[in-house]
Structure 1
Amino acid sequence: MTMLWLLATEEGGFGLNSDILETNLINLVIVIGVLIYFGKKFLGSTLTSRRVRIEEAIQDAEARKKKASSALAEQQQNLAQAKAKAEQILAEAQENAAKAREALLAQAKVDVERLQASAAQDLSSQQERVLRELRQQVTEMAIARAKEQLPGRLNQDIQHRLIDQSIAMLGG
């Protein structure tokens, strides 16, 4: 207040001070004093609340980082388990394929042996049938020829001897 009185009395009342350096310095001191006096509580509470919010945001970010890290570790573990399971399934599939291949080869071998045995049996039965038919034809031809030649070669005396031999063979 004494400053205002000095400004007013120096020139004979209130007026404009034309000294720029002096007036700016005084104005700055007044503004800074007012800001410190009135803004101390406001600025302090604002900065304190802002600091609290920043600290909470940092803590929240750190918590989210920890949570994300644990989720990442869990997902990496799940991925490793999935890869191991996939490798196990692949190994089992290869093993099953090898077993199936061997079973198919064994079954094919059995089928081939059965077909060979069946073919051999069919061949044997065909040979027997052909031989039987040949014997029958030869027998029929021999009987037919004998019937043709028999009447001219058979006389009364030969017929009696054949009958006697037949009776003797029968046990009479």
Structure 2
Amino acid sequence: MNIIGSYLLTAAAEAGAAHAEAEGGFGLNLDIFETNIINLAILVGVLFYFGKGLLTNILTERKAGIATEIQAAEKSAKEAAAALSEAQQKLTQAQAEAQRIRKTAEENAQLAKESILAQALKDVEQMKQMAANDLTTETERAIADLRQQVVAKALQKVESQLRQQVDGNAEQKLLDRSITLLGSEA
């Protein structure tokens, strides 16, 4: 009733101000018919009666909408918190997996390093063995060449000495004896 009362007083004050202006002064007009207080009271009563239900419905719908939005926001917040928790868990798992992969890679790198070093040592030993074998072969070949040269020089020397010491007659006897020997062997 406070609202209606304040409307009525406001309407009365406005009507009084209009009347005072017409008479040339300030005053309060209490004439009910002249100020349309009855019409204003009816209008305010009708608005209050019919508007109350409409206003109540609007406020109820607005309240329900706000409650729904709050529930949706709370649900979204819970879903976001769950998604964050899941993402953190996945991050932890991914970090653990990355650590495991790094450790495995380091172990594999160490094994590969050791394998390469072992293979390199083996290759060095093989090269040393091949070099030793090549040296031995070259030495044997050089010795064989020297022997052939020594034998060839010795044969040349013996041949030259035989030519000097053996005369034509002795040479004929030697040839005859060699032919006889060859004939008896055959």
TM-score, normalising length: structure 1: 0.71
1:136 aligns with 2:151: no
**Any unmatched runs of 5+ in structure 2?**
1-14, 20-26, 178-186
> Take 1:127 and 1:20, find their aligned partners in 2: how far apart are those partners?
146
- The one-letter amino acid of 2:79's match is K
> Take 1:41 and 1:148, find their aligned partners in 2: how far apart are those partners?
153
Give the aligned partner of residue 86 of structure 1: 98
CA offsets 1:38-82 (integer angstroms, 9 cap, x no match): 221111111111111111110111011101111111111112211
> Take 1:112 and 1:105, find their aligned partners in 2: how far apart are those partners?
10
Higher relative contact order (Cα pairs below 8 Å, separated by 6+ residues): 2
CA offsets 1:118-169 (integer angstroms, 9 cap, x no match): 010000000000001101110111111011113444697xx9xxx9xxxxxx
Cα RMSD over matched residues? 2.9
SS at 1:44 equivalent: helix
1:15-164 to structure 2, matched below 5 A, reads: 18=19, 19=27, 30=41, 32-153=44-165
- The one-letter amino acid of 2:66's match is I
Query: Which one is further off, 120-129 or 42-51?
Result: 42-51
> Take 1:21 and 1:104, find their aligned partners in 2: how far apart are those partners?
115
> Take 1:123 and 1:146, find their aligned partners in 2: how far apart are those partners?
34
Give aligned pairs, total.
142
**Any unmatched runs of 5+ in structure 1?**
1-15, 164-172
Query: Which one is further off, 77-86 or 115-124?
Result: 77-86
> Take 1:21 and 1:60, find their aligned partners in 2: how far apart are those partners?
56
> Take 1:20 and 1:83, find their aligned partners in 2: how far apart are those partners?
85
> Take 1:109 and 1:102, find their aligned partners in 2: how far apart are those partners?
11
Identity of aligned residues (%): 40
> Take 2:82 and 2:108, find their aligned partners in 1: how far apart are those partners?
38
CA offsets 1:96-135 (integer angstroms, 9 cap, x no match): 1221111111111111110110010000000000001101
> Take 2:128 and 2:83, find their aligned partners in 1: how far apart are those partners?
66
